[in-house]
Amino acid sequence: MSDRRSRKALVVGGSIGGLFAALLLRQRGWDVHVSERVPTSLSGRGAGIVTQPPLWRILDMLGLDPHRNFGVAVERRLTLARDGSVLGTLRCPQVMTSWDRLFSMLRAEWPVERYTLGEELRGIDQQDGGVVATFRNGTQRFANLLIGADGFRSTVRTLAMGDIPPCYAGYVAWRGLVPESAIPADAYAMLGGVFGFCLPEGEQMLGYLVAGEDNDLRPGHRRYNFVWYRPADERVTLPDLLTDESGHTHAVSIPPPLIRPEIITDMRARAEAILAPQFAAIVRATAQPFLQPIYDLEAPCLTTGRIALVGDSGFVVRPHVGAGVTKAAEDALALADALDAEADQSHALLRYDSERLPAGRRMVQRGRHLGAYMQAQISTAEERDAADRHRTPEAVMAETALMGHTVASPDMPNSG
Ligand SMILES: Cc1cc2nc3c(=O)[nH]c(=O)nc-3n(C[C@H](O)[C@H](O)[C@H](O)COP(=O)(O)OP(=O)(O)OC[C@H]3O[C@@H](n4cnc5c(N)ncnc54)[C@H](O)[C@@H]3O)c2cc1C
């Protein structure tokens, strides 16, 4: 067990990864503070989140009950052809939650006075036995352990390990949320109760129902969440997608209201031309689509001195793995366990690093394989091989958003 007098932790980043770390460390007797850059309460980030069994286990360990109103249960996966007919189905029970739902569950467990909004980390000074963190507003905080849970453009990582630029995957995701009541009846009849897919050449559309506003899970009040992956060449198409009407090209991502109208018109026209009519109807019903370029990111290590990275600050895994929040929770648990098991905190950090670094690398690699067939350019033989293996409806349904824990089994004949 580590020395109780030196168990003061500072978590930088108050999103899902940061809250998991804070809650799990507090449970083991640590004195924890969370500093979040954004000045107002976080909400409305992302959309649908496929839950995985390890996430349920970790929520359970925190005394949170994922069996109560966690999300929308689906039993089956289904792939639609361009003409709207069913190409295949697969039995695969899962619960789809939303970022808001998970965040509010965790946030409700964390004391207000231990969570400071509007505190943006600017500097770190590693000292004997701890770290002094300096924030933009001039505040300084000392902790024996600093946890970087500040996402894929992590300041903690950059300050501690240098600049590690994210690597663009060669495609973007168009995403949207549609009120369940706005989905035309024929599209709803096919897609309403399933995890649906459509696979135009070199692209992938998927979608499922999630909770509505204020975690409303009543039928008729939920929302349909879709993600449509489309290749976009890094030198020409991507900068064009990220350029707003004033001519400014945004780095990494663009706020949804700034996407140029002609870009959205073109996206909607492509939906009518290449997607199954049920999915095209969902795109048509989407008031404000948003665009997310897909990146990979791998930190060279997860710890240095008295600093540890959890969640997206260490590894960003493509969304095909359905791993973002589950990985963040698993990182936080592994860190808390290592600190609990080792008397010496530096040994604990080495233990955490040796456990979660290979796990993160494996997940990034899996995301690369699953997404290979959507890349604008395939450059290596390995990518070509992965693209061939993972592009069929059977492979996509059996492999997407499953972390090897959930059982997918062929559906009964005629059940589509
Ligand atoms: C916009 C968005 C949409 C997403 N959509 C999905 C999805 O649909 N499905 C899914 O599985 N995953 C999604 N993810 C990813 C998923 O939320 C993360 O993988 C998971 O929550 C773990 O993220 P994290 O807490 O490590 O980082 P993040 O959620 O990125 O949080 C990092 C936090 O750190 C704060 N921060 C950054 N810099 C500083 C600083 N210098 N000082 C203080 N605080 C700082 C940020 O404001 C932010 O609140 C999304 C993430 C984002 C940001």
pLDDT of residue 414: 33
Q: Which atom of ligand 1 is nearest to the CA of 135?
A: 42
The first and second tokens of residue 345, run together, are: 């905190």
Closest residue by Cα to atom 38, ligand 1, is 150
Instruction: Check residue 40 and give its pLDDT.
Output: 86
Residues forming beta bridges with residue 146, ordered by sequence position:
10, 307
For residue 1, the model assigns a pLDDT of: 46
What is the model's pLDDT at position 416?
A: 29
Going by CA atoms, what residue is nearest to atom 2 of ligand 1? 46
- Hey, what domains does the chain have and what are their CATH numbers? 4-63+101-166+296-370 (3.50.50.60), 72-96+167-294+373-410 (3.30.9.60)
The total of other beta-carbon atoms located within 10 Å of residue 93's CB is 13
Question: In the prediction, which pLDDT does 192 show?
Answer: 93
Q: 49 CB under 6 A from ligand 1?
A: yes
Strand, helix or coil for residue 399: helix
Ligand 1 centre distance from Cα of residue 66 (Å)? 21
17 CA distance to ligand 1 middle (Å): 8
367 lines ligand 1 (CB under 6 A): no
207 lines ligand 1 (CB under 6 A): no
pTM: 0.91
Q: Say if ligand 1 is within 6 A of residue 51 CB.
A: no
> For ligand 1, is residue 18 a contact (CB within 6 Å)?
yes
Q: Kindly give the distance from the C-alpha atom of residue 139 to the centroid of ligand 1, in angstroms, as a whole number.
A: 23
**Opening angle at CA 119, ends 118 and 122, nearest 5:** 135
184 alpha carbon to ligand 1 midpoint, in Å? 33
User: CA nearest 297: which of 252, 329, 350?
Assistant: 252
pLDDT 10s digit of each residue in the chain, 416 long? 445 568 999 999 999 999 999 999 999 999 999 999 999 888 766 578 899 899 999 999 999 988 888 899 999 999 999 999 999 999 999 999 988 889 999 999 999 999 999 999 999 999 888 999 999 999 999 999 999 999 999 999 999 999 998 999 999 999 999 999 999 999 999 999 999 999 999 999 999 999 888 888 999 999 999 999 999 999 999 999 999 999 999 988 899 999 999 999 999 999 999 999 999 999 999 999 999 999 999 999 999 999 999 999 999 999 999 989 999 999 999 999 999 999 899 999 999 999 999 999 999 999 998 998 888 666 677 777 777 777 888 888 988 888 754 445 555 333 32
Per-residue pLDDT at 415: 33
Pocket test for ligand 1, best of 11, 150, 229, 330 (most atoms within 8 A of CB): 150
Which residue's alpha carbon is at the smallest distance from atom 51 of ligand 1?
46
Substitution candidate for ligand 1 out of 119, 312, 363 with most atoms within 8 A of CB: 312
Beta carbons of 316 and 297 less than 8 angstroms apart: yes
Distance CA 384, CA 377 (A): 10
Residue 373 pLDDT: 84
Where helices occur in 91-184 by DSSP H, the ranges are 99-108, 155-161
Q: Which two tokens stand for residue 393?
A: 């409806």
C-alpha 177 to ligand 1 mean position (Å): 19
Residue of 10, 15, 20 best suited for mutating to test ligand 1, as the one with most atoms within 8 Å of CB: 15
> Atom of ligand 1 at shortest distance to CA of 16?
25
pLDDT at residue 379, as a whole number? 67
Question: How many Å apart are CA 124 and CA 407, to the nearest integer?
Answer: 44
Q: What is the full DSSP assignment across 246-278?
A: TSPBPSS---GGGS-HHHHHHHHHHHHHHS-HH
CA of residue 79 to ligand 1 center, whole Å: 30
**With a 6 A CB cut-off, is 45 part of the ligand 1 pocket?**
yes
Please state, in angstroms and rounded to a whole number, the distance separating the CA atoms of residues 196 and 78: 5
Cα-to-centroid distance, 58 and ligand 1 (Å): 19
Q: Which atom of ligand 1 is nearest to the CA of 311?
A: 26
Q: Ligand 1 in contact with 121 (CB < 6 A)? A: yes
